[in-house]
A = this chain, B = another copy of it.
Amino acid sequence: MAGNSFGKAFKITTFGESHGIAIGVIIDGCPAGLDIDLDFIQGELDKRRPGQSKITTQRKESDTVQILSGIFEGKSTGTPISLLIPNEDQRSKDYSHNQDVYRPSHADYTYDVKYGIRDHRGGGRSSARETAARVAAGAIAKLLLQNHGIGIFAHVTAVGQINAPNLSTDNLTELLALREDNIVRCADPAVANQMIDFIDLIRKDGDTVGGKISCLVKNCPAGLGEPVFDKLHADLGKAMLSINAVHGFEYGSGFAGSEMRGSAHNDVFIATEFGTKTQTNFSGGIQGGISNGMDITFSVAFKPVATIMHNQQTVNAAGESAEIKGKGRHDPCVVPRAVVIVEAMAALVLADQLLRNKSVKLS
């Protein structure tokens, strides 16, 4: 039983390998009547596109998206929306040396064990290229959420040990807009510069570094999330952990919250003119797996990219020791391009839960 679908009501299925003809995605369950802005979808893809700045891979792909079905005269029709992104810069010969040698901390070995066959021209299905399909689908989920007034904003909060300070919630939306002013997509301009310099240094070393992304969901209505297994944060966690290179997820108070006392951690309810709110938000906008109307907050940890420009010892398909030489064009740090992927996956979860919630009350 394969696992290339995500979501139950707003369901996507992605397909395609890094060095095949195309990648793409089918969305089954997008409500009829939604205005589909192709330029918006392309704009989202452009944020993930390789070659966009000096701190990303220099591989060239225009990542031009085509809509094959599900849209009529600019609106969704309720039928499956299929989005196709042709692969342009395949350069298969770059990868012929990888056929029988397992790249450390890549998925070459595990795919070979699992399937007994592997498209060795690149990462194949395990390549982060697959996430372009998610970004395209996530763009449509964002359009659906915008229609309900819900906004999703992520930015880079750490590159290696360089951390962005906590941003105040009040002006966060404004600050997050600033993230697009710098190539690392950190909303704090001063820290952003340090991050960029550090990634540049790492790149010149032929090395890579990990990082963190935090995400904020504004204006999510209370009531989304389906206990006891499809809790809103459980679905968000799975969505984030399914992104390449992600090693950790926390929401609300997260790991730090595990050190706190209940008397400090409890979010006291207060009556306001805008209805019931909480004084603090250690719950991260989710209680019992259901959104409570406060901002939803979560963070995602990315390991360093596995492809480095150094020679490394490894093992080949015959089980013998081998050496792998560093070559190719890869990202020194994945987080600047991953911001839009985090947002896309969050949008897919929220769109799914929004639609699922429509059937839980008799009304």
A residues contacting B by CB (< 8 A) are: 1-6, 8-9, 11, 13-17, 20-24, 26, 28-29, 31-34, 66-70, 72, 75-82, 84, 102, 104-107, 109-111, 113-119, 124-126, 130, 144, 147, 158, 160-161, 202, 207-212, 222-223, 225-231, 233-235, 237-238, 240-242, 247-255, 257-263, 265-271, 275-276, 278, 282-284, 287-293, 301-308, 310, 312-315, 319-321, 355-363
Contacts and interface: CB of A to CB of B under 8 A. Distances in A.
A162 to B, nearest CB: 9
Max chain B C-beta neighbours (<10 A), residue from A84, A113, A248, A259: A248
A234 B228 contact: no
A302 B260 CA distance: 10
Q: Is the interface of A mostly helix, strand, loop or mixed?
A: mixed
A81 B13 CA distance: 11
Contacts of A315: 269-271, 276
User: Which are the 5 A-B pairs with shortest beta-carbon distances?
Assistant: A107-B288, A3-B230, A3-B226, A248-B250, A208-B262
B242 A104 contact: no
Given A69-B20, A321-B271, A80 B226 contact: no
Nearest to A249: B249
A301 B78 contact: no
Given A241-B249, A319-B271, A360-B78, A301 B32 contact: no
Nearest to A20: B69
B210 A260 contact: yes
A241 B233 contact: yes
The number of times this chain is found in the oligomer is 4
Nearest to A110: B290
Nearest to A66: B21
A312 B262 CA distance: 11
Contact of A75 (B117, B260, B305): B117
A70 B211 CA distance: 32
B261 A16 contact: no
Contacts of A287: 105-107, 109-110
Given A208-B262, A242-B289, A303-B257, A77 B125 contact: yes
B208 A261 contact: yes
A263 B305 CA distance: 9
Contacts of A263: 207-208, 308, 310
Contacts of A293: 113
25 contacts: A1-B8, A3-B230, A3-B356, A4-B229, A8-B8, A13-B13, A15-B80, A17-B70, A17-B72, A29-B359, A33-B117, A77-B125, A104-B266, A105-B262, A105-B265, A107-B290, A110-B223, A111-B290, A113-B293, A160-B259, A208-B263, A234-B238, A247-B250, A262-B307, A269-B315
A342 to B, nearest CB: 13
B271 A242 contact: no
B254 A301 contact: yes
Given A32-B115, A210-B257, A304-B257, A69 B229 contact: no
A304 B282 CA distance: 11
Contacts of A116: 32-33, 361
A293 to B, nearest CB: 8
A276 B358 contact: no
A258 B21 contact: no
A247 B225 CA distance: 15
